[in-house]
Structure 1
Amino acid sequence: MGRKKLERFVQNEANPNVVQPGKEIFETIQGNWKQRFFKNEHPLVVELACGRGEFTVGLGRRYPDKNFIGVDIKGSRIWKGSAQATEEGLKNVAFLRTQIERLEESFAPGEVDELWITFPDPRPKDRDEKKRLTSPRFLQLYKQIMHPRGHIHFKTDNTGLFDYTEELFSRRPDIHVERITRDFYASKWKDEHYGIRTRYEKLFMDKGETIKYLEFFFVND
């Protein structure tokens, strides 16, 4: 392991806006994000596979009346967003280091008000379907932690993953698709995201890829 990566891990340990294994709060944060961590009742917004945290930090700047949590398993990645949020004094931004498969251990049922799935690994091989972040396995997990009718946003450059997701949702009576487009930046909703783009989003667009976007929520049983 490189020296720079080790230094980042040490900083994550010291930075209070990073919740990760080894810290006492990691074991007790479930159901307590608003009261214990952010100390307010503002809506809780979670970004999955946040990487360097550009989108989480960007949303935190734009919406001081909401709380934002970027989730990723790579400590060296979330270090960047954590350091940026600290430098800018963003008290409404946090990072959770955990596997997405274990979200229910860090969020209580109904605790999350809004969720973002931004440019996940498309997992194109059939044998990897269960690893896709829009597969039935993960949808059940989101349904558990989402507030009733809490909205979920999905952005990808990958046509195959988007086709898979759209077709899957069409067979799910418990899912209502609110918005859908295969070219987000040519859509009527582009201005609502205030130009906040991740590093990967910029790379995809530079290659001429259109950004696909879908917003949905779970319908009450």
Structure 2
Amino acid sequence: MRLRNKPWAQEYIESNPTVAIQNPTKYQGQWAKTVFKNNHPLNIEIGTGKGDFIVALAKKYPEQNFLAIERYVSVSVLALKKIVAADLINLKIITFDAVMLLDIFAPQEINKIYLNFSDPWPKARHEKRRLTSKKFLEFYQLILQPNGEIHFKTDNDQLFAYSFESFQANNWKIIDYTTDLYHSKYLENNIPTEYERRFVQLGENINYLCAQKASP
């Protein structure tokens, strides 16, 4: 996602330290206890975008903790504004690159991971940047709890096919999937992202899968 630089963004982020968590590496292994001050399950969304999905999810499950992860300041600040407006105690956000996941979370600290409309990185030389590549699946395997899940949605059929094969090749158990979310049984519980709504209005197909962490 590329958005025009917002000179006010960093200042706004720093002015909301209880929601926009600074220096997230110091909370490794301590997110529930130190940041959320409870022992509830912790779920993360990688590539939060403008925040519609994660805000709705946190509202739906107040008994769980949620952490939004967005790489770009100009984007994360838009999500932050929505989180602040929603005034949810179970939702925080960090501006951080997912390649550093192992510096942020301890082994088995995460309950579920949500990947929504990730950058497909279509060129072969960029495969390792895909959030469903072997490298990232190894990260997720480490930070997820036993039987932890990944929920993945994309409008990109090529990325979905690649991801499906990647999960299987890396010993993940695919427990649910559809190549047509909006004509499936999974639609009832679906929470759309802002881009998903746009894609659907344009007649784009949406793919979905849920994969479970491999056994040791």
Relative to the length of structure 1, the TM-score reads 0.91
Matched residue count: 213
Q: Distance in 1 between matches of 2:161 and 2:155?
A: 11
Q: Distance in 2 between matches of 1:74 and 1:170?
A: 30
Q: Distance in 2 between matches of 1:167 and 1:218?
A: 15
**Structure 2: 5+ residue stretches without partners:** none
Q: How does 1:1-221 map to 2 (within 5 A)?
A: 5-15=6-16, 16-21=18-23, 26-172=24-170, 174-193=171-190, 196-221=191-216
Q: Distance in 2 between matches of 1:64 and 1:135?
A: 31
Q: Could you list the per-position Cα deviations for residues 11-43 of structure 1 after superposition, in whole angstroms to 9, with x for gaps in the alignment? A: 10011211234xxxx341111110001111111
Structure 1 residue 171, shift from structure 2 partner: 2.8
Structure 1 residue 4, shift from structure 2 partner: 7.8
Amino acid at match of 1:141: F
Amino acid at match of 1:200: Y
Q: Distance in 2 between matches of 1:178 and 1:37?
A: 32
Q: Distance in 1 between matches of 2:77 and 2:41?
A: 24
Q: Distance in 2 between matches of 1:165 and 1:4?
A: 31
CA RMSD in angstroms, aligned pairs only:
1.7
Corresponding residue SS for 1:216:
strand
CA gap 1:210/1:38 in 2 versus in 1, 3 angstroms: same
Contact kept in structure 2, 1:43 and 1:113, CA below 8 Å: yes
Q: Distance in 2 between matches of 1:147 and 1:17?
A: 24
Q: Could you list the per-position Cα deviations for residues 59-117 of structure 1 after superposition, in whole angstroms to 9, with x for gaps in the alignment? A: 11111111111101112212222222222221111001110000111111100000001
Amino acid at match of 1:91: I
Corresponding residue SS for 2:153:
strand
Contact kept in structure 2, 1:20 and 1:98, CA below 8 Å: no
CA gap 1:202/1:35 in 2 versus in 1, 3 angstroms: same
Q: Which of structure 1's runs of 4+ aligned residues deviate more than 6 A?
A: none
Amino acid at match of 2:200: M
Contact kept in structure 1, 2:50 and 2:75, CA below 8 Å: yes
Relative to the length of structure 2, the TM-score reads 0.93
State the percentage of identical aligned residues: 36
Q: Distance in 2 between matches of 1:66 and 1:164?
A: 31
